[in-house]
């Protein structure tokens, strides 16, 4: 069984990088805005992001395309797509 440590960490880092990018953008407009505000302000999109990331990870495994780079990009993409949903985050 191959190790999933690097791809899982890469997936989580991809999600985190995209979230932090959005928080930094929002903090430029409102200096009191915090990470918790972002995560709790849009709980459904946050949950959708995690679910999409897991689905994408499974898809990468199933197709034999799983690597640290592909997992990282899946995390960024899933969080970005979740933010594009109706009633989405800014």
User: Does residue 88 form part of some domain?
Assistant: no
| Domains of the chain: total | 1
Instruction: For 12-36, write each residue's pLDDT tens digit.
Output: 999 999 989 988 998 999 999 988 9
User: Does residue 64 form part of some domain?
Assistant: yes
List the domain range (segments joined by +) for residue 55: 5-83
Q: Could you give the CA distance from residue 14 to residue 47 in angstroms, rounded to a whole number?
A: 15
User: Does residue 90 form part of some domain?
Assistant: no
User: Does residue 89 form part of some domain?
Assistant: no
Query: Is residue 42 a contact partner of residue 19, using CB atoms and an 8 Å limit?
Result: no
Banded model confidence at residue 1, pLDDT cuts 50, 70, 90: very low
Q: What is the pTM of this model?
A: 0.84
User: Does residue 58 form part of some domain?
Assistant: yes
Q: Which two tokens stand for residue 21?
A: 């990018």
Distances (CA, A) of 12 to 33, 42, 47, 82, 87: 22, 18, 14, 15, 24
User: Does residue 70 form part of some domain?
Assistant: yes
Query: Is residue 57 a contact partner of residue 66, using CB atoms and an 8 Å limit?
Result: yes
């Amino acid at each position: 069984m191959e190790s999933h440590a690097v791809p899982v960490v890469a997936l989580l880092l991809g999600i985190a990088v995209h979230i932090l990018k959005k928080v930094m953008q929002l903090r430029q407009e409102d200096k009191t805005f915090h990470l918790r505000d972002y995560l709790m302000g849009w709980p459904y999109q946050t949950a959708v992001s995690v679910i999409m990331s897991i689905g994408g990870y499974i898809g990468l495994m199933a197709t034999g395309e799983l690597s640290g780079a592909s997992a990282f990009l899946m995390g960024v993409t899933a969080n970005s797509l979740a933010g594009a949903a109706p009633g989405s985050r800014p």
